[in-house]
Amino acid sequence: EADIYQTPRYLVIGTGKKITLECSQTMGHDKMYWYQQDPGMELHLIHYSYGVNSTEKGDLSSESTVSRIRTEHFPLTLESARPSHTSQYLCASSELDKNYGYTFGSGTRLTVV
Amino acid sequence: AQSVTQLGSHVSVSEGALVLLRCNYSSSVPPYLFWYVQYPNQGLQLLLKYTTGATLVKGINGFEAEFKKSETSFHLTKPSAHMSDAAEYFCAVSYTGNQFYFGTGTSLTVIP
């Protein structure tokens, strides 16, 4: 079944640790996105990609980095986690140049202590 | 700057009552419009979308929305609320298909 997967669902980690949030999709979508979501706030785009070897920063400044070596995989990395990184991170994908909307993953809720 | 406004961060309705969640966008160019629903501890799920054609669109779970260009609105409605409709609802717009702008969300509570 075509879908988009995020792991882990929940993560509690200490300050200064390096973490990678995984996102994979089986739909062959060219476009992939990372959003940061805080309670009561709009979703903020932090990274996006239009295809393999394409990565761009979004509207919200983020200390994270992303890579797109394979179409289906779009991991997000924080080299040194801080409490200010505590948030929910949502990965999404869509078809290129089509307004069919996004398909979202279930999200990763990150807590940095 | 493009923006999406959702009036009312929290809406409560009785079970069986009409659901009305408001969404307005600010642009002179009609966008593509979307409503997403988010259940607790889950990602966002597409409810319905307007791209072109008929301005009244029907989505899943009995929801529908009407695009009103003159009012720059895309309000979400459902004739009769069900307990399972309790969730967070996000309105989103896109102008190019390459980036979406989300509202701040409306939390819907359904009272038995």
pLDDT in tens, A41-84: 778 899 999 999 999 998 877 889 999 999 999 999 999 999 99
Output the pLDDT for position A57. Answer: 92
User: Residues of B numbered 60-89 whose beta carbons fall under 8 angstroms of chain A's beta carbons: which are they?
Assistant: none
The answer to whether the CB of B36 falls within 8 A of the CB of B92 is yes
What contacts B81, CB < 8 A, 6 or more positions away?
A: B13, B14, B15, B16, B17, B18, B19, B108, B110
Within an 8 Å CB–CB cutoff, is residue A102 touching chain B?
yes
Name the pLDDT band for B101 (thresholds 50, 70, 90). Answer: confident
CB contact under 8 A, A50 and B41: no
CB contact under 8 A, A6 and B98: no
Share of chain A above pLDDT 90, in %: 73
> Which of A87-101, B39-53, B65-79 is modeled with the greatest confidence?
B65-79
The one-character DSSP state at A73 is B
Residues recorded for chain A: 113
Output the pLDDT for position B43. Answer: 85
Of B64, B43, B46, give the one whose Cα is nearest residue B54.
B64
Question: How many of the other CB atoms lie within 10 Å of CB of B68?
Answer: 13
3 state DSSP class of B42: coil
Min CA distance, A83 vs chain B (Å)? 20
Output the pLDDT for position A101. Answer: 79
Q: Which residue has the tokens 């409810």?
A: B47
Name the pLDDT band for A100 (thresholds 50, 70, 90). Answer: confident
Task: Give the long-range contacts of residues A41-44, CB within 8 A, separation 24 or more.
Answer: A41/B104, A41/B105, A42/B4, A42/B90, A42/B102, A42/B103, A42/B104, A42/B105, A43/A90, A43/B90, A43/B102
Mean pLDDT of all residues in chain A? Answer: 90
Output the pLDDT for position A98. Answer: 66
Within an 8 Å CB–CB cutoff, is residue B22 touching chain A?
no
Q: Which residue in A43, A90, A98, A100 has the most chain B C-beta atoms within 10 A of its own C-beta, making it the best mutation to test that interface?
A: A43
Mean pLDDT of all residues in chain B? Answer: 90
Output the pLDDT for position A1. Answer: 58
Instruction: Average the pLDDT over A81-92 and give the result.
Output: 94
Residues of B in contact with A31 (CB under 8 A): 98
Residue of B nearest to A102 (CA): B46
Write out the two tokens for A8. 């882990």
